Amino acid sequence: MINTVIFDMDGLLVDSEPLWGLAMQEVFNTVGVTLTPDLWHKTTGLRTKEVVSYWHHHFQWTAKSEEQVTDEIISTVIRMIIAEGRSMEGLHYILDFFKERQFKIGLASSSPKRLIDAVVDNLGISPYFQAVASAEFEDYGKPHPAVYLACAKALGSMPLECIAFEDSITGMTAAKAARMTTVVVPEAHNRQDPRYALANLKLNSLLEFNDASLLAIQALK
């Protein structure tokens, strides 16, 4: 029986994807690298260090180490989120929905733990989560299922008892690989991507999820 829900964070609970883009461009500019929006999407959903490694391999800058660039990006994103981070539509609705139904609630993010802590504290949603897992501490990031499996374990749940909410193809793939029922809420410009057909349910907003959605998902088990 499904009794657990695990949420991704960036782009699903907090509108941080634009801020990631700004922060990365700000820091990448210091090493002489400029990325177009089309290029950004190549690394959406990956861990920060993997994004930096990918583009370092591509551009071969020498002014700073990968570790320094990664740390500067994370610090810049935290500063931006605290200053102007906005919750996604339906954030408190969906958290209250599952809390009222006594679900165990977790968060599984590719972001480093210090960024996760900054976001949940800034949005005032920390009390909702019984477990928070960061792919920072896993050998592999999304699309590998490690961070979802770690979160489920921390919640005392089996993967088949979990619903995972995601916004990206990378995250959806990770949740499905973990054998979790998966709900996706893609960004508007990505909603027609045929790969989202892999999800059990696709929504335009967190506000669309309701009791009928939950019953339909439970009927799949």
Could you tell me where the beta strands, DSSP code E, fall in the chain?
Answer: 4-7, 104-109, 131-134, 162-166, 181-184, 201-202
**Residue 14: phi, psi to the nearest 5?**
-130, 140
Q: What is the spatial distance between Cα 13 and Cα 107, in angstroms, rounded to a whole number?
A: 10
* 3-state helix vs strand vs coil in the chain, percent to 5: 55, 15, 35
Annotation says 71 is catalytic: no
Q: What is the spatial distance between Cα 62 and Cα 126, in angstroms, rounded to a whole number?
A: 39
Catalytic residue among 8, 121, 193, 211: 8
Catalytic residue among 10, 38, 71, 121: 10
Catalytic sites, residue numbers: 8, 10
